[in-house]
Structure 1
Amino acid sequence: MFINDRHLSNRPIQWQAHQNSNSEVPENTMAAMKYAWELGGIPEIDIRQTADGIIIGHHDATPKRTLSVPEADQDKQISELTFDQIQQWDAGVKFGEQFRMEKVPSLEQVLTVLSEHPDRQLYLDFKDVDLEVLSGLIRDYGVARQIIFAHNSHENCKSIKRLVPEVRTMLWIPVRSSETAMQTFTDIRQTGFESLDIVQLHLPDGEEKRPWRYKLEKGFIQEALQYLAEAGMELEVLPFKFEQEDLFELLNMGIRRFAVDEPSIFVERLKRYVE
Structure 2
Amino acid sequence: MSAYKNKFLLIQIVFCFISTFSIGQNLPSSKHKLIVIAHRGNHTNVPENTLASIDEAIKYGVDYVEVDLRTTKDGYLIIHHDGTVDRATNGKGKISDHTLEEIKKLQVFNQNKKTYKIPEFRDVLKLCKNKINIYLDFKDADVAQTWKQIQEAGMEKQIVVYINKKEQYPQWKSIAPQMPLMTSIPDEIKSTDQLSSFLNEIKISVIDNVVNPEMEKIIKEKKISTWLDVQSPTEGPASWDEAISKGVQGLQTDHPEALIEYLNKKGLR
Fold match (TM-score > 0.5): yes
The one-letter amino acid of 1:231's match is K
Aligned length: 240
Distance 1:20 1:173 in 2: 24
* 8 Å Cα contact 1:19-1:45 kept in structure 2: yes
Matched, 1:170 2:182: yes
1:267 CA displacement: 1.7
For the aligned residue pairs, the C-alpha RMSD in angstroms reads 2.8
Q: Show the counterpart of 1:83.
A: 100
Matched, 1:226 2:217: yes
Distance 1:188 1:134 in 2: 29
The one-letter amino acid of 1:183's match is K
Distance 1:236 1:190 in 2: 21
Secondary structure of the 1:47 match is strand
The one-letter amino acid of 1:50's match is T
**What is the percent sequence identity of the aligned residues?**
23
Q: Deviations over 1:212-262 (max 9, x none)?
A: xxxx5xxx0x33332222112101111234442442243233212111122
1:186 CA displacement: 5.7
Report matched runs for 1:118-133 at 5 Å.
Answer: 120-133=132-145
Gaps of 5+ in 1: 175-179, 203-215
1:120 CA displacement: 2.5
TM-score, scaled to structure 1 = 0.77
Distance 2:42 2:61 in 1: 19
1:59 CA displacement: 1.1
Matched, 1:273 2:262: no
The one-letter amino acid of 1:138's match is I
* 8 Å Cα contact 1:17-1:261 kept in structure 2: yes
**TM superposition outliers: structure 1 runs of 4+ over 6 Å:** none
Q: Show the counterpart of 1:153.
A: 165
Secondary structure of the 1:154 match is coil
Report matched runs for 1:62-101 at 5 Å.
Answer: 62-69=84-91, 74=92, 76-91=93-108, 94-98=109-113, 100-101=114-115
> Alpha carbons of 1:25 and 1:228: their partners in 2 closer, same or farther (altered >3 Å)?
farther
The one-letter amino acid of 1:86's match is I
Q: Pick from 101, 106, 109: which aligns with 2:123?
A: 109
Matched, 1:49 2:71: yes
> Alpha carbons of 1:184 and 1:148: their partners in 2 closer, same or farther (altered >3 Å)?
farther
> Alpha carbons of 1:40 and 1:20: their partners in 2 closer, same or farther (altered >3 Å)?
closer
1:183 CA displacement: 3.0
Gaps of 5+ in 2: 1-14, 23-31
Distance 2:138 2:263 in 1: 28
Q: Show the counterpart of 1:248.
A: 241
1:187 CA displacement: 4.0
